[in-house]
Structure 1
């Protein structure tokens, strides 16, 4: 018994001493080579086994010297009980290991990422930025004015044209749809970079979400991942939409309580409504053998409806309208006779309760790199709240603040790097999330236009730290420090934080390619800016790790 207790204590002490969470200063390096990790684990296991054998030999020798008269009896008893005892203490050791690991995972994943208190760690983790230089504030301002501000000036003109045409197209869609059987389409809502005024790339594409609802007597039953007790990690951030038939008896119509004559007809429950009730919408838009809305079926329905709508109004316009992408519901391209093209996206969504959170069928390109493996799982989008938060925070920032300029420059640099080295799993949505976190943690005065270089440094440091940790939390999910004026549903604020970089933990090749692209972008930053800015008034550059004055 004392030997078993000693073994357990030895194992627990070894685990605690070598645990990276409890002693981070002694274990700051994460081994990226899997074979090396396995080899070290085997060596540690062999050392522990040798120590165990030595302890057993010493105990056996002591027992032989102190009690020689009962050696035979003890040997027989040891042969009978040692296997059971060893199995018991081994099992107990494994339980202790598991408890420590569960506690570590809960502590790591269940805590909101407090970026405001981690500034000291940024300089430690940002080793890849050493030796990288950024142009100074005057050069960055000149680059922004000559390259990106021109793009921004085109936004209002394109937006006005596309908004008018989109409204006309959706109105035609409503007129060609069967109001008794088809989905009911509501007014479109502009979201994304074009409506947040930080679009940095051409073509300038407007993104619209189009809420739709089922016709009577159907209704949607919404199931988000945070409303379920258990959900797999790859389904976090998703939800499902179930189609149900509403209970007609709940209307309280008098025809349910009074016997009408043969010549009398209830206008609410007419033969047309009865025929509509007999139509099975779940057979048209639901996944096979289920009552859950299928995003692929919805995409097909929406594309057919848009085609019918365009055929009805095409004679009014002097341009052609085509689908820009076939695997997106409403990725459309306007092509004028002069050859000029304008692209925009109409994406069907379902409203979550009475909030501005929506279930979205498909994301526009370069929004989120990872999609759901199942067509019945719809990703929740907070695009309306993102636009609203940026508008809200702008009221407290200095005039001509640099937050959108930083995001535009970073998005421009990343886009140019991807055109050189290939697509990256790092998207503009991740870059915007970085900006939102910094807007919440840094003082408003720090976003003055004179602090452009310093804030761009902060965004790069923050992004590299998040990539190295493979951890970037969604700004709205699990964030309990948001202004009440936004009206974020409480269930999402109280939900567990949602890691947007979780896929990098599981997909090592994708992670390595993303890191390589990011490091190449850092190396080419100064060259790209100087190349696109024709005239540089001040050629000075400062180290990325130099503290701003």
Structure 2
């Protein structure tokens, strides 16, 4: 019995008076430190989870408020409809007047229409506020690029004034950025078209290439020498390339355009692009932008591409060059429409006409018009699919031409998205999407096109689907993937 009491007292003493910390071994101390670190890591994770739950709670509260607002509108709709029906019955019983019944029906229709507009406004607000949009300030970027190109145009005129190279006109902003939208969140390309006119003693003649391709209109720019003997007699020091001896021309005058940027009698795109690179590099140090911005030339065979940066922001610019068809908004340009475009082939481009179409819409659109948001939304959805950005843009331009621009405001946003979706399905099923400019006789009057463009056989942008059954099957499959993606995006951002 005494031994049991002794053991109990010994155990109690060990419990009440543990050994001092200094007697612990190094391994125990290391385990405590690791445990403390683990507890600190778990504490941080718990804090992050609490923050996430708070944000989620705030989002749910916002959606709950929207849901309550929608339900309240529906309740009011039902109440108004019931009240209106009872009022109409009373009036019919008392007066039996057909005119008042018609007026009641009109009031009913007006009421329903007003509530539908309120409901559409709620959907539009939710979608436009919760969908993530690119954050670039395109308007500011376009203004900066325009100013830079104007500075370049001034020096182009000074440097080339007495040469026999093409005369460069003021650049025209084209492409998505200058149309007011962008399919990309980063690396926006600001594209400009520089019109060229022939130098002294030369003329340009555009020749349509009718061989082979039916879906593109290609041209060649034939350069022809012109007699300048009259100019020489009037005091111009220029020698006539046609009538002066070649030896005298070689000693006393710079070579003609035929001897510098042409292959045979035709203007060469790649030679012209290399010449543009030399001009851009040589003139840059003279521009005021060069004091705070850095120029980096980028490789390209059929255009002049470069990037300017000041350390905080940067702009990527592509300078295309082309020849105007008469006094129209249609050019032949250096931008290829297909792979392996020959050096002397200049495809017809409609960039300027399309840019003017969007400017035409901007002047008519209400302040809350979302037609550019619709375009931006769909071109971002389709990235990685077989539907090109240009095909989606063409489809939406057709819809913009057929649907009053007033119906592209916020309360019609969801309706327009579904209209674009259904329009794409119809085009894929029909294996046909007509070009917006070529073959279109209903363009706005301020868009000037040569007479042969609206009467030409239109281009079918989906012609490959009609020729290749596998391509059609793939396009239809990818349409349903895109459709599902659209539905999930709308559901995620609204429900």
Which TM bucket (shorter chain)? 0.5 to 0.7
Pairing of 1:412-427 with structure 2 (within 5 A): 412-415=380-383, 418=384, 424-427=385-388
3-state SS in 1 of match to 2:452: helix
Please give the per-residue CA displacement for 1:149-180, whole angstroms capped at 9, x wherever unaligned. Answer: 5626x112222222222322343344444732
Matched, 1:187 2:170: yes
Deviation at 1:286, TM superposition (A): 2.3
Deviation at 1:429, TM superposition (A): 1.8
Matched with 1:163 is 146
| Residues 208, 218 of structure 2: 8 Å contact kept | yes
| Residues 402, 452 of structure 1: 8 Å contact kept | yes
Runs of 4+ more than 6 Å apart: none
Equivalent of 1:223 in 199, 207, 213:
207
Matched, 1:350 2:323: yes
Deviation at 1:197, TM superposition (A): 1.3
Question: Which is worse superposed, 470-479 or 516-525?
Answer: 516-525
Matched with 1:336 is 310
Matched with 2:342 is 374
Deviation at 1:434, TM superposition (A): 0.8
Matched, 1:472 2:436: no
Please give the per-residue CA displacement for 1:414-444, whole angstroms capped at 9, x wherever unaligned. Answer: 23xx2xxxxx453222212111111222344
Matched with 1:213 is 197
Deviation at 1:495, TM superposition (A): 1.3
Q: Which runs of 5+ in 2 are unaligned?
A: 1-119
Deviation at 1:236, TM superposition (A): 3.2
Q: 1:464 to 1:185 in 2, by over 3 A?
A: same
Equivalent of 2:261 in 285, 289, 298:
285
Matched, 1:299 2:273: yes
Question: Which is worse superposed, 188-197 or 398-407?
Answer: 398-407
Equivalent of 1:457 in 414, 418, 422:
418
Q: Which runs of 5+ in 1 are unaligned?
A: 1-135, 256-265, 419-423, 540-549
Deviation at 1:211, TM superposition (A): 0.8
Q: 1:206 to 1:223 in 2, by over 3 A?
A: same
CA distance, structure 2, for counterparts of residue 178 and residue 209 of structure 1: 20
Q: 1:437 to 1:187 in 2, by over 3 A?
A: same
Q: 1:442 to 1:160 in 2, by over 3 A?
A: closer
Question: Which is worse superposed, 196-205 or 502-511?
Answer: 502-511
| Residues 473, 497 of structure 1: 8 Å contact kept | yes
Matched, 1:442 2:371: no
Q: 1:282 to 1:481 in 2, by over 3 A?
A: same
3-state SS in 1 of match to 2:322: strand
Please give the per-residue CA displacement for 1:49-80, whole angstroms capped at 9, x wherever unaligned. Answer: xxxxxxxxxxxxxxxxxxxxxxxxxxxxxxxx
CA distance, structure 2, for counterparts of residue 145 and residue 324 of structure 1: 37
CA distance, structure 2, for counterparts of residue 353 and residue 159 of structure 1: 27
CA distance, structure 2, for counterparts of residue 506 and residue 282 of structure 1: 41
| Residues 187, 210 of structure 1: 8 Å contact kept | yes
Matched with 1:126 is none
Please give the per-residue CA displacement for 1:125-165, whole angstroms capped at 9, x wherever unaligned. Answer: xxxxxxxxxxx97566544345555626x112222222222
Matched with 1:17 is none
Q: 1:282 to 1:504 in 2, by over 3 A?
A: farther
3-state SS in 2 of match to 1:387: helix
Equivalent of 2:128 in 141, 144, 156:
144
Q: 1:482 to 1:342 in 2, by over 3 A?
A: closer
Matched with 2:390 is 429
Q: 1:305 to 1:316 in 2, by over 3 A?
A: closer
CA distance, structure 1, for counterparts of residue 285 and residue 142 of structure 2: 23
Q: 1:279 to 1:505 in 2, by over 3 A?
A: farther
| Residues 269, 302 of structure 2: 8 Å contact kept | no
| Residues 191, 383 of structure 1: 8 Å contact kept | yes
Q: 1:470 to 1:300 in 2, by over 3 A?
A: farther
Task: Calculate the TM-score normalised by the size of structure 2.
Answer: 0.66
Matched with 1:309 is 283
Please give the per-residue CA displacement for 1:519-545, whole angstroms capped at 9, x wherever unaligned. Answer: 3322222445666xxxx4x40xxxxxx
3-state SS in 2 of match to 1:353: coil
Q: 1:342 to 1:396 in 2, by over 3 A?
A: closer
CA distance, structure 2, for counterparts of residue 403 and residue 522 of structure 1: 19
CA distance, structure 1, for counterparts of residue 260 and residue 466 of structure 2: 38
Matched, 1:493 2:454: yes
Pairing of 1:40-55 with structure 2 (within 5 A): none
Equivalent of 2:223 in 235, 243, 251:
243
Deviation at 1:208, TM superposition (A): 0.9
Matched, 1:359 2:332: yes
Q: 1:314 to 1:401 in 2, by over 3 A?
A: closer
Larger radius of gyration: 2
| Residues 151, 199 of structure 1: 8 Å contact kept | no
CA distance, structure 2, for counterparts of residue 301 and residue 483 of structure 1: 37
Deviation at 1:222, TM superposition (A): 1.1
Deviation at 1:508, TM superposition (A): 6.1
CA distance, structure 1, for counterparts of residue 310 and residue 403 of structure 2: 46
| Residues 323, 332 of structure 2: 8 Å contact kept | yes
| Residues 191, 209 of structure 1: 8 Å contact kept | yes
Equivalent of 1:320 in 283, 286, 294:
294
Deviation at 1:210, TM superposition (A): 0.7
